Amino acid sequence: MTLPRFFPLALLALTAAGLSGCDAVFGSKGDETTREIFEEGQTDPTLADDVGYVPLNPFYTQGLNGPLENPVDVYVGYDEFIYVADDNGLHVLDLAGRPAFLLDEVNGQDLRGITAVVQDRRLDVYIAARRDTTFDVQPGDPGYDDLLSPDGDLTWDLPVVYRVRGLTTGTPRVVDTIWHPFDDGSRRFTRFERPGIYDGGASDEDAEFTGIAPLANNRVYVTRRGPVNSTASGRPSQTFSPFNAFLVYTAEGDYVQYVRVLTPDQPSLLSAYFPSDVLTFLGPPQRASVALDENFLLAQAPPAGQPDATYGVLSVQIVETSDGIEYRVDSQRLAAASNPELGDGALFEAGQFESVSSLGYAADQTGYLFVLDAGKDSLFVFNQAGVEGVAPPPGAESSLPVRVSFGGTGAGPLQFSNPQGVSYYQRIVYVADTGNNRISRYRLNTDFE
């Protein structure tokens, strides 16, 4: 674990020194630190004046001990820190992009294979990663033959979701771990409660957690993806709990359910077909009270060789009925796709996404939805109704949303290379531009005052 080089929270203890010490703590108006802070919102002066997202200089490229390497996710938390996952672990940056901390080890193992990071309202940070696990089994135990690897050991590389507390205090500790396949209660009393090798040669090592989405009550949704995707008889299958799944956990990490209505074996308007991310309508800044909204968006990104998903993003509503909880297609967002009077383009436009890697939500009055498509190296922006675009500026001739989606393959300020993560905070959109080793930042030009 790497200790902080610069830690903003420590500044709180220095405020008692009085105004005479401000230059020593925060820097004078002429020094490098202050210059970085005031340039944090600077835009590219060569950009056009049309409504759209414009880059903010500088993009963030530095972690604690050197340049970012393949950043795969970014999340701006309730604590106003930026969490960036890359090949070296989880970096913590302040809002000016200055590295504050690096979590590179968890419970004696390197923090590796990160696929997602998010924070709940308790300020606990969830990290989807991987961990080696050694099993103490004996000949004759169920699944013993499956567990034996070619070299005879019983160590497996499995996906986990860590819940970490105290990260920004410099003394992080793991308070819970969701571990595949042990923390999937739907596998109880089956051989799937142990790691194993299944039909077709797939094993539990091939699974990964791809998305984590907290709710206002700190329960969490988790998506899991893997190679076995059929529940039909007579075909290679897992007959009970497929790898491709939508799982629900309590605030303390206890298993609640595997949602079977979100089918894993073929794409539909209610499926968990190779899910790549999940998003709830919740986010910073912190509020005294937040209404519980259990609805969610789910991204589907099948690998090469698998049938495409007609809809790369699904919008699912949870409805409480006299017969219990029902998962329903979001009919309003679905209908928006066939209503040209609402605007041009919609979330449910068939075939518009190639490989959705991440979802983001603007938890402010705009309610914008962000869809990051790694296949098209593009960021799509939708309003709360699911229509592509943002609100037109005051005085515009039309009241229809203005399309502001952008991208394209490359290293330019409005281009990406295999982007994998998107987040939003205080009118700024952050993108983990993996192939370009940077966190790109954008803001609507109509948001500047």
Query: For residues 172 and 163, what is the distance between their CA atoms, to the nearest angstrom?
Result: 10
- Residue type present at position 418: N
User: Is the peptide bond prior to 181 cis by the omega test (within 30 degrees of 0)?
Assistant: yes
Q: Please name the residues in contact with 201: beta carbons below 8 A apart, sequence gap of 6 or more.
A: none
> What tens-digit pLDDT sequence spans the chain (449 residues)?
544 433 343 333 322 333 233 333 233 434 443 344 334 444 444 433 588 999 999 999 999 999 999 999 999 999 999 999 999 999 999 999 999 999 999 999 999 999 999 999 999 999 999 999 887 655 555 455 555 554 455 788 999 999 999 998 888 999 999 999 999 988 776 655 677 777 777 888 999 999 999 999 999 999 999 987 777 655 555 666 789 999 999 999 999 999 999 999 889 999 999 999 999 999 999 888 888 999 999 999 999 889 899 999 999 999 999 888 999 999 999 999 999 899 989 999 999 999 999 999 999 999 999 999 999 999 999 999 999 999 998 888 889 999 999 999 999 999 999 999 999 999 999 999 999 999 999 999 987 75
Report CA dihedral (53, 58, 64, 69) to the nearest 10 degrees. Answer: 60
Which of 249, 227, 248, 246 lies closest to 238 in space, CA to CA?
227
Is there a contact between 139 and 146 (Cβ–Cβ < 8 Å)?
no
Cα torsion through 210, 86, 7, 23, rounded to 10: -120
Residue-level length of the chain: 449
CB 24 within 8 A of CB 15: no
Which 3 state secondary structure label does DSSP give 323? coil
Six token digits for residue 2: 């790497």
**SS3 assignment, position 328:** strand
Name residue 442's beta-bridge partners: 55, 429
Instruction: Judge whether 220 and 243 are in contact, CB under 8 Å.
Output: no
User: Which residues are CB-neighbours of 408 under 8 A, at least 6 positions away?
Assistant: 377, 378, 414, 415, 416
**Chain centroid, CA 28 distance in Å:** 37
Domain 8-18+25-447 bears CATH identifier 2.120.10.30? yes
d(CA 224, CA 203) in angstroms, rounded, equals: 14
Q: Which residues pair with 102 in a beta bridge?
A: 2, 91
The secondary structure of residue 308, as a DSSP letter, is P
Torsion (CA) 168, 171, 176, 181 in degrees, nearest 10: 90
The backbone torsions φ and ψ at residue 435, rounded to the nearest 5 degrees and listed phi first, read: -65, -20
By three-state DSSP, how is residue 259 classified? Answer: coil
Q: Which of 284, 276, 366, 218 is nearest to 76 (CA)?
A: 284
Tokens of 247: 């799982």
Report residue 47 as tokens: 């950009």
